[in-house]
C-alpha cells in the first residue's frame, strides 16, 4: 500500500515538473513570437528564429506526449483530447521540416507555412498558462477593483504592442499609441491616426484582439479557460466571477461564461461570413485581405468598437451605397449592444415559445405554460431599444432627407436613416458625413450617444435600462405614485438609486471633459468638442473630425473619459471607496424640497 501511494506521489510530482517546464517553454515561445512579429529582421535572423520555433515545437511535442501518457485520474476528457490534438499538431509541424515528406504528400504544403507554427505556439501558450492556479480574494481585490485593473492591464499591454516597430509603417508616439489602445479596449473607435493606412497588418491584428478582449473582458477569457483546463476552481473565485459575469447563481458562473463565449464567436463568425460575400471583389481583390476585412469588421461591429480599416468608415466611396453590408454591420452592433444576459434570456424564451407551440399541435392539454420566461430586465431593455431605434430612424429620416440622405435612393434613405439612428448608440460606424449633419440631427445624436447600449453589453452610455427607469420615474411622480411599477412588477429602490447616480455621474464627467478641452482648445468649435466628449464617454467613436488635431493634454483627457465611460464612474467609486457591509441603524426620515 505504501509503495502504491509513493508511485502516485511520484507521478504527480513528475507531472507538475513537466507542466512547469511546458509553461516556461510556452512563455518563451510567445516572447519569441512578439520579438519576431514586432521587429524587422534580416534573413539570417529569420532563419535562426525559425530554428528556435521548431526547437520549441519539438520539446513541446515530447512534453505534451509524455504528460498525456501519464495515468491521471482527475484530468477531464476534454483536456486530454486537447492535449492529443496539440501533440498531433506539433508532430505534423515537426515532420514538415523534412523535405522528403513534403515532396511525397503534396497536400501538406498548405500546412508548411509559418502561420501554422504561430498558431500552434499560441494554443500551446493558452493551454499551459490557463493551468496556473489563480485565486481572487475579496480581502485584497473586490470585483470592481479587479474589473478596473483588468482593463488597465490590457490597455498598457496593447500600448506596448502598438509601439513595436512592425505595428506601424512609420512609427507612432506614446500618447497616440495609448490613445489607440484605450479606444480599442474601451471599444470606442475614436482614432488619432487612420487605422487602415497607418498600421500594418500586425498592428491592425493587435487592435482587433484588443477590441475582442475589451468587448468581452479579459476576466471572461482568463476565467473560463482556466476552469476549462483545470477542471475546478475555488468558491471565492466563483463568488468573484458571479459579480463580474452577472450570473444569477454561483453554480452557473462557468456555464454563463461558456454561453457568452459561444454566443459571441458564433455571431461574429456568421457576421464575418455575410460581410465576406457582400464585399465587391473589385474593391478588395485579394482573398486573404477580404477575409481579414470581414473578420476585423465583424469583431469591431459586434463589440460596438466602430474601428474600420477604411479611411472614412462606411462612408468610403465604393461602400457608401452597399446597403446589405450596412444592414449586416448594424445587426452585429445591435446584437452586441443588447447585452449578453438579455440575449441568453431571449434565446431561452424563443426556445420555450417554439417548443410550446409544437406541444400545442401534438397535444393541447400537455402544453405547459411558464410565466415570466422573458424576465423584467429583458422586457424593459427590448422595449426601450425598439422605441429608440424606431424614433431615431424616423427623426433622422425627416431631418436629413434633403441633406445627407439626398444622394441615396428611397430604400437607401431608409437604410441609411436606420443606420444613422442605430450607430450613435455606441457603435461608431458612420455611413454619412457626420460634420455635415443638421443641428437638429446632432441634438438627436447627442441624446442617443448619451443613452447608449444596454447593461452587460459591449456598448457604453448610461444604458437603456437607466434611461427607462428615469422616464418611468417622472411618469410615476406625475401620477402621484410612491413607487415605480411596470409589467405588474415593482422596481426595487436600489435600482432607482443606481440609475440616478449613473445619470448624475455621467453628466459630471462629460461636463468636466468639455470644460477642460474647451479651455485647452480655444480654437475648436464648442459643438465639435461637446460631440467628442459625449462620444468618448459613451464609447461611441463618432467624431466631427477634431480628434487627430487635439493637443497631447486634450488627448489624455479623452483617454480618461473613454476609460471612465467603459468601466463607469460608479464602478470606479465602488473600487476606490470602502464598502460598508452593514447598517444596523436608521435615522428619522424627512422630505427635502425639490419642486
* 256 is a domain residue: no
Q: 217: helix, coil or strand? A: coil
Within a domain: 442: yes
In a domain, 221, yes or no: no
Phi-psi region of 485 (alpha: psi -120 to 50; beta: other; left: phi over 0): beta
> How crowded is residue 502: how many other Cβ atoms within 10 Å of its Cβ?
22
Among 1-15, 143-157, 367-381, name the one with the lowest average pLDDT. 1-15
pLDDT over 90 (residue 555):
yes
Confidence of residue 51 (pLDDT cuts 50, 70, 90): confident
Please state the rounded mean pLDDT for residues 150-178: 92
| Structural domain span for residue 392 | 370-576
Answer with the residue of higher pLDDT: 63 or 532: 532
Does 18 have pLDDT greater than 50?
A: yes
Residues 389 and 334: their CA atoms lie apart, in Å, by 10
Does 33 map to a domain? yes
What does the pLDDT read at residue 412? Answer: 92
Q: 489 or 273: whose pLDDT is higher?
A: 273
- The strand ranges marked E within 361-412 are none
Bridge partners, residue 489, by sequence: 486
- Report how many domains make up the chain: 2
pLDDT for res 536: 92
Instruction: Give pLDDT, residue 1.
Output: 43
Instruction: Say which residues have a Cβ less than 8 Å from residue 500's Cβ, sequence separation at least 6.
Output: 470, 473
- Where a domain ends, among 85, 107, 129? 129
Last residue of a domain, one of 129, 152, 182: 129
pTM of the model: 0.86
Q: What angle separates helix 218-230 from helix 143-162, to the nearest 10 degrees?
A: 100
Q: Over the stretch 72-83, which tens digit does the pLDDT of each residue have?
A: 556 667 777 777
Instruction: Judge whether 146 lies within some domain.
Output: no
Buried b (16+ CB within 10 A) or exposed e, 335-349: bbbbbbbbbbbbeeb
Of the residues 67, 99, 129, the one at which a domain ends: 129
Mean pLDDT of the chain: 82
Mean pLDDT of 530-555: 91
Q: Is residue 102 part of a domain?
A: yes
pLDDT digits (tens, 9 = 90+) for 428-443: 898 898 888 999 999 9
How far CA 549 is from CA of 177, 199, 530, 546, 555, in Å, comes to 15, 19, 15, 5, 9
Report the SS3 class of residue 136. coil
**Which of the pair, 327 or 62, is modelled with greater confidence?**
327
Higher-pLDDT residue of 437, 7: 437
pLDDT band with cut points at 50, 70 and 90 for residue 56: confident
| Phi, psi angles (nearest 5°) of residue 271 | -60, -45
Q: Is residue 504 part of a domain?
A: yes
Mean per-residue pLDDT for 381-387? 92
- pLDDT at residue 231 above 70? no
Residue 397 domain-assigned (yes or no): yes
> In the structure, what pLDDT confidence band is assigned to residue 297 with cuts at 50, 70 and 90?
very high
Contact of 509 with 565, CB cutoff 8 Å: yes
Mean pLDDT of 221-245: 54
Amino acid at each position: 500500500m505504501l509503495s502504491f501511494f509513493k508511485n502516485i506521489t511520484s507521478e504527480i510530482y513528475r507531472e507538475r515538473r513537466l507542466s512547469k517546464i511546458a509553461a516556461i517553454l510556452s512563455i518563451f515561445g510567445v516572447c519569441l513570437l512578439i520579438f519576431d512579429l514586432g521587429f524587422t529582421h534580416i534573413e539570417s535572423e529569420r532563419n535562426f528564429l525559425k530554428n528556435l520555433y521548431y526547437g520549441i515545437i519539438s520539446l513541446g511535442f515530447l512534453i505534451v506526449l509524455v504528460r498525456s501518457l501519464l495515468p491521471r485520474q482527475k484530468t477531464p476528457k476534454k483536456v486530454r483530447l486537447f492535449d492529443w490534438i496539440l501533440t498531433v499538431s506539433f508532430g505534423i509541424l515537426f515532420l514538415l521540416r523534412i523535405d522528403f515528406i513534403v515532396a511525397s504528400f503534396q497536400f501538406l504544403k498548405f500546412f508548411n507555412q509559418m502561420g501554422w507554427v504561430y498558431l500552434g505556439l499560441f494554443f500551446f501558450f493558452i493551454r499551459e498558462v490557463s493551468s496556473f492556479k489563480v485565486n481572487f480574494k475579496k480581502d485584497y481585490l473586490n470585483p470592481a477593483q479587479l474589473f478596473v485593473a483588468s482593463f488597465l492591464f490590457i490597455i498598457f499591454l496593447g500600448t506596448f504592442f502598438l509601439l513595436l516597430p512592425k505595428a506601424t509603417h512609420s512609427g507612432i508616439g506614446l500618447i497616440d499609441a495609448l490613445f489607440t489602445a484605450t479606444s480599442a479596449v474601451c471599444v470606442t473607435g475614436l482614432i488619432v491616426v487612420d487605422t487602415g493606412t497607418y498600421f500594418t497588418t500586425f498592428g491592425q491584428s493587435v487592435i482587433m484582439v484588443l477590441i475582442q478582449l475589451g468587448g468581452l473582458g479579459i476576466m471572461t477569457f482568463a476565467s473560463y479557460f482556466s476552469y476549462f483546463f483545470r477542471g475546478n476552481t475555488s468558491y471565492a473565485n466563483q463568488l468573484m466571477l458571479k459579480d463580474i459575469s452577472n450570473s444569477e447563481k454561483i453554480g452557473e458562473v462557468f456555464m454563463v461564461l461558456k454561453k457568452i463565449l459561444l454566443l459571441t464567436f458564433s455571431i461574429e463568425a456568421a457576421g464575418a461570413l455575410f460581410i465576406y460575400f457582400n464585399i465587391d471583389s473589385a474593391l478588395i481583390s485579394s482573398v486573404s485581405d477580404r477575409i481579414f476585412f470581414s473578420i476585423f469588421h465583424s469583431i469591431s461591429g459586434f463589440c460596438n468598437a466602430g474601428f474600420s480599416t477604411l479611411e472614412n468608415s462606411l462612408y468610403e466611396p465604393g461602400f457608401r451605397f452597399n446597403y446589405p453590408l450596412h444592414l449586416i454591420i448594424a445587426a452585429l452592433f445591435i446584437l452586441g449592444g443588447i447585452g449578453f444576459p438579455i440575449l441568453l434570456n431571449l434565446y431561452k424564451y424563443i426556445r420555450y415559445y417554439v417548443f410550446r407551440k409544437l406541444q400545442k399541435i401534438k397535444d393541447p392539454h400537455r402544453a405547459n405554460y411558464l410565466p415570466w420566461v422573458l424576465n423584467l430586465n429583458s422586457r424593459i431593455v427590448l422595449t426601450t431599444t425598439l422605441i429608440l431605434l424606431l424614433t431615431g430612424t424616423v427623426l433622422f429620416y425627416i431631418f436629413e432627407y434633403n441633406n445627407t440622405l439626398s444622394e441615396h435612393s428611397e430604400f437607401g434613405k431608409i437604410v441609411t436613416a436606420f443606420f444613422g439612428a442605430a450607430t450613435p448608440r455606441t457603435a461608431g460606424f458612420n455611413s454619412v458625413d457626420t460634420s455635415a449633419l443638421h443641428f437638429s440631427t446632432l441634438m438627436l445624436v447627442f441624446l442617443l450617444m448619451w443613452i447608449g447600449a444596454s447593461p452587460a453589453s459591449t456598448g457604453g452610455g448610461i444604458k437603456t435600462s437607466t434611461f427607462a427607469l428615469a422616464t418611468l420615474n417622472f411618469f410615476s411622480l406625475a401620477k402621484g405614485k410612491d413607487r415605480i411599477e411596470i409589467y405588474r412588477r415593482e422596481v426595487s429602490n436600489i435600482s432607482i438609486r443606481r440609475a440616478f447616480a449613473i445619470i448624475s455621474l455621467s453628466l459630471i464627467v462629460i461636463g468636466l471633459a468639455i470644460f477642460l478641452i474647451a479651455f485647452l482648445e480655444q480654437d475648436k468649435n464648442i459643438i465639435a468638442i461637446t460631440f467628442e466628449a459625449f462620444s468618448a464617454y459613451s464609447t461611441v467613436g463618432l467624431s466631427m473630425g477634431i480628434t487627430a488635431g487635439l493637443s497631447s493634454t486634450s488627448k489624455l483627457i479623452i483617454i480618461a473619459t473613454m476609460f471612465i465611460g467603459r468601466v463607469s464612474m460608479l464602478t470606479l467609486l465602488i473600487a476606490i471607496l470602502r464598502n460598508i457591509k452593514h447598517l444596523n441603524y436608521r435615522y428619522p426620515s424627512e422630505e427635502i424640497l425639490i419642486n
